[in-house]
């Protein structure tokens, strides 16, 4: 009986030594997972995922506090790519969240009073204007995060869905003739 | 020398760990979603299994001997856990990508029944040190070969419009079954 | 004649149907009543309209200026009045509308004064800028602004290839052009050679066009070689013709200029001649009208002529027509709206009939037979790309070199299961392009967001520093007057005196300004003020006790 | 919204399958002439079961019957399976074979073009593993059998089981079977070869059928339905390995000629290994795939437990096909040579 305990103790000691030495030799700093997750997120900084921006949401996912399907602008495709990166099962978008078509904010010039509240609210500085001067949104830089709508006192900002034109028109998925014939 | 070659061919093709002995199925199903992860897992398992079968032979002959035979399974598992821990740190250092993609399945090598099964089979068939090393290597190579081929098949299956109830793991199970049917061709190869 | 020919893999032999439209000479179309000239007729930025509604324009007058580097100008096809600048129907697979200038023709067809160019003495960059303002674009179908292609740029261009292969079935506009206007075309080729500064010039013409070969060989000077290339679709593809004539493979993702070869369509050479030697901008081109029409043939058509007028010029559609195709049957697209005009890119209009263009049979699953891989001129594996494009796994589709596909249609043509392979590839390509656009927008948004965070941080720091400095100054000021023995330097004294005077003045100003509106108040208002004062006193009392 | 091209070539999948079946006809006729009418019964049964199962599955999957049944792929699988099974086996053997082939190996994977394993060979493998006895009762050549069967007798045997005629009246062991058992008992090769069932190259009668399959295969090659890579590599792999083994120990291992013209070698090389859906798709991949299949066939025939290794060899190589395809991608136009264009995901 004693020899059994001695043998197991000996094996434990030897392996413990090897592992101790290995953990020192293979010290490794944290791996850049957060940047990889951040690269997938659409960077609209809209906060619909419950975090103040895409970077905090990425850190939360890396730490495992946040689920991968809380980002509506990313849509189902974004969730799938996050699932593939983290090697987990892809999930549908969270409850109550659906991916709206991409849209851009437009300021109605004749009601804007130039109060600069929306300029401070815009996460990507896409609004140009000064106190008591006319404000305008640079359409190419607006991410459609709708953060400038609440602070506007005169509600002169409206969201406009990006229309399909000759440049961004996409070829459709060819309809499977057979399915239609069935 | 010819005997070792025979052991190697025998364990890789004829009584393949996964296909004929149906061992090590959970990593086989779990890690075979993408080809790169499968190759990584195959390499890790081969490293662990070869070391483990060598170490477990030493532990069995020199430490346990006849009277402590009942400690065999316990000591083998401890040895395997040690080696897997070492491998885990090594992979975390050498390629963090592979480490993250393998995820839970890397520590799970410890619980892979093939990894524990082969040392026990070594003891059962009274292999000497070199034979058990080759047996371990052969078993692991067989596992990796089948795992990599299966991963390539599953990647192609991903895009097939399999009928709804059979999507995902169930068609993978059927494919694994048909693979073992194919491997039956090797039955009786080594007299 | 001793030019060694190379054969690329793949390619198909559809029946060419050239005889329908290459028998009759090129006819010029009568003037139409209205012309719709789109601003986007070339690859790159659309032209910017420089005329206003109501202006009177002459033939050849610039109505759209080139915008940015990759762009070219657009000109009025005839004299008349601009009636509208709005979104009109354009020949595009989407059927969407695009910005166009609508001109009401006045029938006089009065042109601006054409100034021919002495291109031999003009230095090449000036020549190229004139070409940019003359609206020259590739007429082979790619419509890439020609002035950019005429620029040899860093690499040395040693070979100029003229593409007269015209391998697409049904289309014969280049064939007729070469037969009837070979001398002028060769003058255009001379200009190209001068601009590019290259020695060898090869003209590739498929051997199923003997008359065109003869005409070009008769008109060609000794050093320009006219080569008969074997008839095979897509022998006329830019990369394929370059390989057939020179054995050089255009590197993936790059252009033939990376290997010192430049390719032009023969039609472009002819329009270069008219632009330089006559001074007439690109306002008309030769278009094939063929298929189910009364008199199929080739027409000299003004850019902007509605396609309906072109069809009526060809004797109108025969009964039983089942739709129209812009371009050839292999790479063209369905025309959605007959009101759409002829643009620089339209080289052919085919009126379909069920006999030659039957309805596509039902698509069966792919049996991986490899016929498409054998037919692909780019040596790709179309069934592997199809497999992952269908499953919308764009990463892997790109892994199988999806972007090397030239969408020639050979794979769909030979597929025994009649799978529209090219449609799957176009779908996958546009999805990947859109994803790349989103990626660029996301990166821009991230960098702007990070800059905003940095900017806020910086402002906070600056404010903190300002307070810190102000606090020091006031401390320093307090310490200087607390220690009188310090040697008072004269200007500090003077500054303190000025400060003192300013303070007194402000003090006096405050007293003199008595609040006017609190003296003769009606008793009711006075009572209210007293109550508020009382309440304020009690509040101040409670706050003092709290601290 | 289907775009260009608006014109299509002339061939179609159903035409391809039909042509392959026509190329099988010479072999079938030779088989019927040399081994009695049993082949017609098994062909009819297999085809019937194939159509029934395929229709059943298509209905269950809610797909239209007409386009899929008319593409003859189920019929071709049925014919291939019927030709690789013994002819006078009981009817349920054909039913189970077709069940595995059509339902498990093909429809469960999504139907035509998506299966990973060759359906006919899955059927054969399932049968030989589960019913080894029935699978070794091959019809004897008409000359040798002591009782020539008519078509009616064949139906009677297949449906009524033993019925009036005893089994060994019309069956005999195949060439490979006798060689393997005799060689392992140590009888010298000359005496084995002198037995009546051995003809000049393969089994008596079997070599004629093999020649007919060879002719059908060459017809397929001329019609450009298959490329030369697979049949050539398969036969070369088989002959080379058998040759080497024969040189090492002529008494144990038969001559390559016998291997080529016996069992399912010719049928396998031209009709089974070349099934485009489950074979490798790149030229280099095809050479590796078929060469290894030939090698494995010879190994299994020489050392394995089963008489004929073609089925298992093809299945084993079907397992490797996705892996082979991934890493034998040909060089794409414009990619400078030597640059490995493996799959980038």
> pLDDT digit string (tens) for A108-129?
888 888 888 889 889 888 999 8
Domain chopping of chain C, boundaries:
19-30+113-351, 363-474
Tell which wins on pLDDT, D92 or D172.
Answer: D92
Q: Is C318 helix (H, G, I), strand (E, B) or coil?
A: coil
pLDDT on residue D170: 64
Other chains touching D, judged by 3 or more CB pairs under 8 Å: A, B, C
The CA distance from A132 to the nearest CA of chain B, in Å, is: 53
* Rounded CA separation D100/A76 (Å): 38
Are C119 and C127 in contact by the 8 Å Cβ rule? The answer is: yes
Per-residue pLDDT of D288-326, as tens digits, reads 999 999 999 999 988 888 888 899 999 999 999 999 999
The band of D331, judged by pLDDT with boundaries at 50, 70 and 90, is confident
- Collect contacts of D65-68 with beta carbons under 8 A, ≥24 apart: D67/A178, D67/A181, D67/C362, D67/C364, D68/C364, D68/D111, D68/D112
Looking at residue D208, its pLDDT comes to 86
Query: D323 to chain B: nearest residue by CA?
Result: B152
Token digits for A69?
Answer: 């399907």
Q: For position D340, what pLDDT does the model report?
A: 35
Token pair in block for residue D271: 């009709």
C333 DSSP β-pair partners: C326
Q: What range defines the domain where residue A77 resides?
A: 33-86
pLDDT score of D338 more than 60: no
**pLDDT tens column, C109-152:** 899 999 888 888 888 888 888 889 999 999 988 899 999 998 88
Q: Which two tokens stand for residue D112?
A: 């035509």
DSSP-assigned letters across all residues of D256-288: HHHHHTSTTHHHIIIIITT-TTTS--SHHHHHH
Secondary structure class of C161 (helix, strand, coil): strand
C521 at A interface, C-beta within 8 A: no
Residue D339: what pLDDT?
39
Q: Which of B71, B81, B99 sits opposite A4 (nearest CB)?
A: B71
pLDDT along chain B (191 residues), means of 10: 86 88 88 88 90 89 81 88 88 81 80 88 87 91 94 91 89 93 83 52
> Which CATH superfamily hosts domain C19-30+113-351?
NADH-ubiquinone oxidoreductase 51kDa subunit (3.40.50.11540)
10 Å CB burial of residue D329 (0-12, 13-18, 19+) is buried
More confident residue, C75 or D337: C75
Comparing C-alpha atoms, which of D130, D165, D120, D121 is closest to residue D147? D165
Please give the pLDDT value at position B96.
78
- Of C373, C309, C302, nearest in space to C41 by CA: C302
**This prediction's pTM:** 0.86
Residue D67 with chain C: CB contacts under 8 Å: 362, 364
Determine the residue of chain A that is closest to B92 in CA distance. A28
Q: Is the pLDDT of residue D344 over 50?
A: no
Report the residue count for chain D. 345
Between B59, B82, B102, which is nearest A19 by CB? B82
Peptide bond between residue C234 and the one before it cis (omega within 30 degrees of 0): yes
Residue with structure tokens 């050093």?
A: C223
Spell out where A15-167 has E strands. Answer: 103-107, 127-128, 136-137, 157-161
How far is the first Cα of chain D from the last one, in angstroms, to the nearest whole number? 29
On chain D, the residues whose CB falls within 8 A of the CB of B36 are: 345
At C313, list the tokens.
Answer: 């010029």
* Rg for chain D, CA atoms, rounded: 21
H/E element, C445: helix C421-482
Burial C18-47 (b: 16+ CB within 10 A, else e): bebbbeeebeebebbebbbbbbbbbbbbbb
Give residue D180's pLDDT: 78
Predicted pLDDT of residue D343: 31
Please, what is the average pLDDT of chain D?
85
Do A78 and A107 reside in the same domain of the chain?
no
C104 touches B at CB < 8 Å: no
Q: Given the structure tokens 């040759």, which residue do they identify?
A: D243
Q: Do C422 and D5 touch (CB under 8 A)?
A: yes
Could you give the ipTM of this predicted complex? 0.87
Pairing of strands A127-128, C27-28: unpaired
> Do B185 and D300 make contact, defined as CB atoms within 8 angstroms?
yes
D10 interfaces chain C, CB cutoff of 8 Å: no
Residue D313 has which token pair? 């060899």
d(CA D24, CA D29): 9
Give the pairing type, strands C348-351 and C284-291. Answer: parallel
Residue C539 has pLDDT above 80, yes or no: no
Distance CA C71, CA C91 (A): 19
**ω before C202 within 30° of 0 (cis)?**
no
Choose the CATH number for C363-474 among 3.30.70, 1.10.1060, 2.30.30, 3.30.200. Answer: 1.10.1060
pLDDT at B24: 87
A181 interaction partners in chain D (CB closer than 8 Å): 64, 67
| pLDDT (0 to 100) of residue D165 | 57
* Domain total in chain A: 2
Q: What is the largest CA-CA distance in chain B?
A: 58
In this prediction, residue C544 carries a pLDDT of 57
Evaluate the CA torsion angle C494, C499, C501, C502 in order and state its sign.
positive
Higher-confidence position of D187 and D38: D38
A152 in a structural domain: yes
Six-digit token pair at C40? 């986007």
- Domain assignment present for A79: yes
Of D117, D277, D276, nearest in space to B178 by CA:
D117
Confidence of residue C490 (pLDDT cuts 50, 70, 90): low
Neighbours of chain A (3+ CB pairs under 8 A): B, C, D
Residue D1: predicted pLDDT: 59
> In this structure, what CATH number is given to the domain that contains residue A80?
1.10.15.40
**Residue-wise pLDDT tens digits, C438-485:** 899 889 998 999 899 999 999 999 999 999 999 988 888 877 665 555
> Is C381 in CB contact (< 8 Å) with chain D?
yes
Rounded to a whole number, what is the largest CA-CA distance in chain D? 72
Per-residue pLDDT reduced to its tens digit, A84-114? 887 778 888 877 777 788 899 999 888 888 8
Among residues A20, A53, A86, the one where a domain terminates is: A86
Q: Which residues of A92-119 are buried (b: 16+ CB within 10 A; e: fewer)?
A: ebbeebebeebebbebeeeebeebbebb
C391 touches chain B (CB under 8 A): yes
Q: How far apart are CA C176 and CA C24, in angstroms?
A: 9
pLDDT band at D140 (very low <50, low <70, confident <90, very high): confident
What would the DSSP string read from start to end of C183-232? HHHHHHHHHHHHHHT-SEEEEEEETT-HHHHHHHHHHS-TTEEEEEE---
Structure tokens at D38: 């049993």
H or E stretch including C16?
none
Contacts for A2 with CB less than 8 Å, ≥ 6 apart: none
User: How long a stretch of residues is chain A?
Assistant: 182
Q: Angle at which helices B35-58 and B72-94 pack, to 10 degrees?
A: 140
What is the maximum alpha-carbon separation in chain A?
A: 93
Considering only residues D162 and B146, tell me which one the structure prediction assigns the higher pLDDT: B146
Distance from CA of C372 to the nearest CA of B (A): 19
Best mutation target, A40, A41, A42, A43, to test chain C (most C CBs within 10 A): A43
Residue for token pair 């697209």: C333
Least confident residue range of A32-46, C243-257, C493-507, D24-38: C493-507
Distances (CA, A) of D293 to C193, D113, D232, D280: 58, 21, 12, 12
Using an 8 Å CB-CB cutoff, list chain B residues near A8. 71, 74-75, 78
d(CA C268, CA B146): 59
How does strand D138-139 pair with strand D171-172?
Answer: antiparallel
Question: Rounded to an integer, what distance in angstroms lies between the CA atom of residue C97 and that of residue C87?
Answer: 5
Q: How many CB pairs under 8 A join A and C?
A: 76
Q: Give the burial string for C385-400 (b: 16+ CB within 10 Å, else e).
A: bbbbbbeebbebbbbb
Distance, in angstroms, between C224 CA and closest chain D CA? 27
Q: How far is CA B27 from the centre of its chain?
A: 9
Mean pLDDT along residues D141-163: 70
**Cα-flanking dihedrals φ and ψ of residue B42, to 5°?**
-60, -45
Domain of A126, CATH number, reads 3.30.70.20
| Under 8 Å between Cβ of D199 and D144 | no
Q: Read off the pLDDT band of D263 (50, 70, 90).
A: confident
- Counting as contact any 3 or more CB pairs under 8 A, the partners of B are A, C, D
Q: Does B104 touch chain D (CB under 8 A)?
A: no
Where in A4-120 does DSSP place strands (E)? 103-107
Q: What is the pLDDT of residue A88?
A: 78
Please write down the long-range contacts of C59-64, taking CB distance under 8 Å and 24 or more positions apart. Answer: C59/C109, C59/C110, C59/C111, C59/C112, C59/C283, C60/C111, C60/C112, C60/C114, C60/C280, C60/C281, C60/C283, C61/C112, C62/C133, C62/C135, C62/C281, C63/C37, C63/C101, C63/C103, C64/C37, C64/C39, C64/C101
Contact call for C393 and B156, based on CB within 8 A: no
Domain ranges, ordered by start, for chain D = 12-172, 200-328
Question: By mean pLDDT, which of B111-125, C293-307, D175-189, D223-237 is the weakest?
Answer: D175-189
Q: For chain A (length 182 residues), average pLDDT per consecutive 10? A: 85 89 76 80 85 87 86 86 81 79 88 87 90 89 89 89 88 69 38
Q: SS3 sequence, C54-76? A: CCEECECCEEEECCCCCCCCEEC
Could you give the C-alpha distances from B107 to A47, B27, B50, B54, B101, in angstroms and in order?
36, 11, 17, 20, 13
User: C361–D114: do the CB atoms touch at under 8 Å?
Assistant: no
Nearest to C375 by CA among C396, C395, C405, C403: C405
Residue D53 has pLDDT above 90, yes or no: yes
Q: What percent of chain D has pLDDT over 70?
A: 90
Within 8 A of B92 by CB-CB distance, chain A residues are 26, 28
């Amino acid at each position: 009986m004693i020899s059994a305990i001695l043998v197991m103790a000996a094996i434990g000691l030897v392996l413990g030594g090897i592992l101790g030495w290995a953990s020192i030799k293979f010290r490794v700093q944290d791996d850049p997972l957060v940047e990889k997750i951040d690269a997938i997120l659409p960077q609209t900084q809209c906060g619909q995922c419950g975090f103040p921006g895409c970077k905090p949401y990425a850190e939360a996912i890396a730490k495992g506090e946040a689920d991968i399907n809380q980002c509506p602008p990313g849509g189902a495709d974004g969730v799938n790519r996050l699932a593939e990166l983290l090697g987990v099962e892809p999930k549908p978008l969270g409850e109550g969240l659906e991916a709206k078509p991409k849209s851009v904010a437009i300021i109605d010039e004749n009601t804007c009073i130039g109060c600069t509240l929306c300029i401070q609210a815009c996460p990507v500085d896409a609004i140009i204007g000064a106190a008591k001067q006319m404000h305008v949104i640079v359409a190419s830089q607006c991410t459609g995060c709708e953060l400038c709508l609440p602070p506007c006192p005169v509600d002169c900002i409206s969201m406009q869905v990006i229309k399909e034109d000759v440049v961004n028109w996409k070829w459709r998925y060819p309809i499977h003739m057979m399915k239609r014939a069935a | 020398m010819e005997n070792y070659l025979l052991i190697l061919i025998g364990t890789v093709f004829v009584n393949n760990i996964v296909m004929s002995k149906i061992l090590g199925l959970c990593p086989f199903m779990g890690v075979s979603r993408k080809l790169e992860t499968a190759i990584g897992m195959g390499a890790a398992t081969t490293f662990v299994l070869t070391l483990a079968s060598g170490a477990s032979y030493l532990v069995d002959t020199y430490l346990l001997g006849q009277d402590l035979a009942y400690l065999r399974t316990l000591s083998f598992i401890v040895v395997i856990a040690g080696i897997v821990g070492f491998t885990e740190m090594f992979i975390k250092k050498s390629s963090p990508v592979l480490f993250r993609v393998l995820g839970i399945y890397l520590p799970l090598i410890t619980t892979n029944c093939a990894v524990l099964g082969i040392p026990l089979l070594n003891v059962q068939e009274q292999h000497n040190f070199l034979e058990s090393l080759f047996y371990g290597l052969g078993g692991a190579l067989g596992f990796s070969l089948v795992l990599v081929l299966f991963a390539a098949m599953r990647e192609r299956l991903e895009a097939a419009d399999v009928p709804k109830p059979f999507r995902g793991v169930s068609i993978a199970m059927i494919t694994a079954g048909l693979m073992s049917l194919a491997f039956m061709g090797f039955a009786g190869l080594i007299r | 004649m001793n030019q060694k020919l190379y054969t690329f893999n793949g390619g198909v032999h559809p029946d060419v149907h050239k005889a329908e439209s290459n028998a009759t000479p090129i006819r010029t179309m009568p003037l139409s009543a209205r012309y719709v000239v789109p601003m986007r007729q070339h690859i790159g930025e659309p032209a910017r309209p420089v005329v206003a509604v109501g202006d009177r324009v002459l033939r050849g007058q610039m109505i759209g200026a080139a915008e940015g580097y990759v762009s070219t100008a657009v000109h009025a096809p005839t004299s008349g009045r601009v009636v509208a600048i709005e979104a009109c129907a354009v020949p595009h697979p989407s059927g969407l509308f695009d910005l166009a200038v609508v001109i009401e023709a006045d029938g006089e067809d009065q042109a601006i004064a054409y100034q021919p160019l002495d291109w031999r003495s003009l230095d090449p960059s000036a020549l190229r800028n004139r070409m940019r303002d003359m609206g020259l674009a590739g007429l082979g179908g790619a419509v890439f602004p020609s002035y950019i292609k005429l620029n040899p740029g860093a690499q040395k261009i040693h070979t100029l290839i003229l593409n007269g292969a015209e391998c697409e079935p049904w289309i014969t506009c280049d064939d007729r052009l070469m037969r009837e206007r070979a001398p002028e075309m060769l003058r255009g080729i001379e200009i190209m050679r001068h601009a590019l500064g290259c020695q060898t010039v090869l003209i590739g013409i498929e051997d199923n066009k003997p008359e065109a070969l003869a005409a070009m060989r008769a008109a060609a000077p000794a050093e320009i070689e006219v080569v008969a290339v074997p008839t095979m679709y897509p022998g006329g593809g830019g990369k394929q013709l370059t390989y057939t004539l020179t054995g050089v493979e255009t590197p993936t993702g790059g252009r033939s200029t990376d290997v010192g070869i430049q390719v032009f369509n023969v039609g472009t050479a002819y329009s270069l001649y008219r632009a330089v030697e006559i001074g007439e901008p690109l306002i008309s081109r030769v278009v094939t009208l063929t298929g189910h029409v009364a008199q199929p043939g080739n027409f000299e058509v003004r850019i902007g002529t509605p396609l309906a007028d072109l069809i009526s010029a060809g004797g109108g559609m025969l009964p039983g027509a089942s739709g129209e195709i812009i371009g050839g049957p292999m790479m063209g697209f369905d025309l959605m709206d007959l009101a759409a005009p002829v643009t620089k890119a339209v080289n052919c209009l085919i009126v379909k009939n069920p006999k030659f263009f039957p309805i596509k049979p039902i698509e069966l699953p792919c049996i991986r037979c490899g016929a498409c891989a054998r037919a692909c001129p780019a040596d790709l594996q179309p069934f592997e790309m199809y497999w992952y494009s269908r499953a919308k796994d764009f990463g892997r589709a790109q892994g199988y070199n999806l972007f090397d596909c030239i969408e020639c249609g050979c794979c769909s043509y030979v597929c025994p299961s009649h799978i529209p392979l090219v449609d799957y590839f176009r779908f996958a390509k546009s999805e990947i392009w859109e994803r790349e656009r989103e990626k660029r927008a996301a990166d821009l948004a991230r960098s702007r967001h990070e800059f905003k965070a940095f900017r806020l941080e910086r402002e906070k720091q600056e404010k903190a520093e300002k307070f810190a400095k102000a606090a020091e100054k006031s401390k320093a000021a307090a310490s200087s007057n607390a220690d009188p023995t310090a040697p008072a330097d004269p200007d500090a004294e003077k500054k303190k005196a000025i400060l003192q005077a300013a303070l007194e003045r402000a003090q006096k100003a405050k007293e003199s300004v008595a609040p006017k509106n609190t003296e003769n108040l009606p008793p009711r208002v006075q009572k209210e003020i007293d109550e508020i004062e009382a309440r304020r006193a009690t509040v101040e009392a409670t706050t003092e006790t709290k601290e | 919204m289907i775009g260009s091209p608006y014109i299509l070539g002339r061939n179609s999948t159903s035409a391809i399958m039909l042509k392959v079946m026509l190329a099988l006809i010479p072999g079938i006729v030779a088989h019927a002439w040399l081994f009695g009418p049993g082949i017609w019964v098994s062909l009819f049964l297999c085809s019937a079961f194939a159509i029934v199962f395929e229709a059943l599955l298509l209905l269950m999957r809610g797909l239209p019957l007409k386009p899929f049944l008319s593409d003859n792929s189920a019929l071709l699988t049925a014919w291939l399976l019927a030709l690789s099974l013994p002819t006078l086996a009981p009817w349920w053997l054909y039913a189970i074979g077709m069940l595995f082939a059509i339902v498990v190996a093909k429809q469960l994977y999504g139907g035509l073009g998506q299966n990973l394993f060759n359906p006919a060979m899955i059927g054969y493998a399932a049968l030989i593993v589960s019913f080894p006895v029935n699978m070794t009762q091959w019809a004897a050549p008409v000359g040798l059998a002591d009782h020539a069967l008519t078509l009616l007798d064949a139906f009677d045997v297949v449906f009524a089981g033993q019925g009036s005629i005893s089994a060994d009246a019309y069956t005999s062991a195949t060439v490979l079977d006798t060689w393997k058992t005799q060689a392992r008992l140590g009888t010298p090769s000359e005496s084995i070869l002198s037995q009546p069932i051995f003809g000049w190259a393969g089994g008596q009668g079997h070599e004629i059928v093999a020649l007919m399959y060879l002719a059908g295969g060459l017809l397929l090659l001329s019609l450009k339905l298959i490329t030369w890579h697979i049949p050539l590599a398969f036969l070369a792999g088989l002959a080379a390995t058998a040759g080497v083994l024969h040189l090492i120990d002529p008494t144990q291992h038969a001559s390559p000629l016998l291997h080529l013209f016996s069992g399912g070698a010719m049928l396998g090389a031209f009709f089974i290994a070349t099934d485009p859906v489950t074979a490798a798709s790149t030229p280099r991949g095809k050479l590796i795939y078929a060469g290894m299949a030939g090698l494995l066939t010879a190994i299994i025939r020489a050392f394995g437990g089963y008489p004929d290794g073609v089925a298992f060899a093809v299945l084993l190589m079907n397992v490797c096909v996705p892996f082979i395809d991934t890493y034998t991608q040909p060089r794409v136009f414009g990619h400078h040579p030597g640059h490995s264009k493996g799959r980038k995901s």
